[in-house]
Structure 1
Amino acid sequence: METDSVIHQLAIRVGNQLRAERLLLATAESCTGGLVATAITEISGSSQWFERGFITYSNQSKAEMIGVPTELIERHGAVSEPVARAMAEGALRNSRAQIAVAVTGIAGPGGATERKPVGTVHFAWSNRLHTTSEMLLFKGERQQIRLLAAIHALRGVLKLLDEQEV
């Protein structure tokens, strides 16, 4: 699988759809460290549909930049469905975007627990009306997990765009 090509093609598709619907996207990334935003900004003209990206790697940055409640992080952990959902909703609150994607996970090789092994990634997508989320477990080395997570995040944006009534 040529993942660099896959992510580039997905970013182009996301951009074409957002531009056609006159919508803006925001990202909130933790374990991907800006890979989703990088794929997007590699496309000329992406400023027409990409509003901003938040790289909220630390728990403190999640709270300060996008308003994830610290109690939520303490109760569920940074790598959890509630935190991913709060990240997506916080990215919308702190931007002019109408669509947001959030990614938080454990890319490894450290940081894993028995309940949250390396490769655990939580995603959330929000369009101000509703937020959807899911968890996937990816196999591979750190960089591969991060890239697969970024690809899945973009696929989820396309799915959200296809499902929404504009």
Structure 2
Amino acid sequence: MRVTDEQLAAAGDALGQLLERKQRMMVTAESCTGGWVAKILTDRAGSSAYTEGGLVTYSNAAKQAVLGVAEDTLLQHGAVSEPVVREMVAGALRLTGADVAVAISGVAGPGGGSEAKPVGTVWFAWGTGEDQTQACLQHFQGDRDEVRRQAVLFVLEGVARFVETL
């Protein structure tokens, strides 16, 4: 699926308006998307009303040092896993005090994939705390740019559905 800049902008605008209406501040903890979600959120004028910040923790060392992801979690499950994205959400919330956090970790390609986690495998989590965090796994098709675009759109739309319930 080819995701356009217009689709990303529309999804970012919709989420931004929703966060603003609900008076919620959001933080992103991104790996394979490299800050793209935060970029989309802050493209909209007035985004400081709903964007607390964005953290790009690409390496395992950064996930540990910045977000407090446990070394054991990374060793047991790998960076692209549900336990890691859940810990990324918890760390981002703890670090910033935001109301809502999103975490993304995946294999965008073209290399780095494995039989268990092929290119296009992306784990997501979003939530407001340990008991209010949802995680899901998606498998996207395409080249590096296409995988990343699909991941950004997926998370913008998913977080919007989540925030709607708050």
1:163 CA drift (Å): 2.1
SS of corresponding position for 2:145: helix
* 2:3 and 2:150 in contact (8 A); partners too: no
In the alignment, the residues of structure 2 paired with residue 52 and residue 111 of structure 1 have an alpha-carbon distance, to the nearest angstrom, of 28
In the alignment, the residues of structure 2 paired with residue 84 and residue 157 of structure 1 have an alpha-carbon distance, to the nearest angstrom, of 14
In the alignment, the residues of structure 1 paired with residue 106 and residue 36 of structure 2 have an alpha-carbon distance, to the nearest angstrom, of 13
In the alignment, the residues of structure 2 paired with residue 2 and residue 102 of structure 1 have an alpha-carbon distance, to the nearest angstrom, of 20
Task: Tell me whether 1:153 sits opposite 2:155 in the alignment.
Answer: yes
Backbone CA RMSD of aligned residues: 1.0
Taking the TM superposition and a 5 Å limit, the aligned residue runs for 1:54-69 are 54-69=55-70
SS of corresponding position for 2:155: helix
Runs of 4+ displaced beyond 3 Å: none
Taking the TM superposition and a 5 Å limit, the aligned residue runs for 1:42-53 are 42-53=43-54
In structure 2, the CA distance between the partners of 1:54 and 1:2, relative to structure 1 (3 Å rule), is closer
In the alignment, the residues of structure 2 paired with residue 44 and residue 115 of structure 1 have an alpha-carbon distance, to the nearest angstrom, of 41
In structure 2, the CA distance between the partners of 1:78 and 1:2, relative to structure 1 (3 Å rule), is closer
Q: Size of the alignment, in residue pairs? A: 164
Which TM-score applies when normalising by structure 2? 0.96
In the alignment, the residues of structure 2 paired with residue 135 and residue 89 of structure 1 have an alpha-carbon distance, to the nearest angstrom, of 18
For each residue in 1:58-97, what CA deviation from the matched residue of structure 2 results, as whole angstroms up to 9, or x when unmatched?
Answer: 0000011111111100110000011011111111111121
The aligned amino acid for 2:27 is A
2:38 counterpart residue number: 37
Taking the TM superposition and a 5 Å limit, the aligned residue runs for 1:116-155 are 116-128=117-129, 129-155=131-157
List alignment gaps of at least 5 residues for structure 1: none
1:74 counterpart residue number: 75
List alignment gaps of at least 5 residues for structure 2: none
In the alignment, the residues of structure 2 paired with residue 45 and residue 30 of structure 1 have an alpha-carbon distance, to the nearest angstrom, of 25
SS of corresponding position for 2:66: helix
Task: Tell me whether 1:25 sits opposite 2:26 in the alignment.
Answer: yes
1:103 counterpart residue number: 104
Which TM-score applies when normalising by structure 1? 0.96
In the alignment, the residues of structure 2 paired with residue 109 and residue 47 of structure 1 have an alpha-carbon distance, to the nearest angstrom, of 34
In the alignment, the residues of structure 1 paired with residue 22 and residue 88 of structure 2 have an alpha-carbon distance, to the nearest angstrom, of 23
2:92 counterpart residue number: 91
In the alignment, the residues of structure 2 paired with residue 25 and residue 66 of structure 1 have an alpha-carbon distance, to the nearest angstrom, of 15
In the alignment, the residues of structure 2 paired with residue 2 and residue 125 of structure 1 have an alpha-carbon distance, to the nearest angstrom, of 21
In percent, how many aligned pairs have the same letter? 43
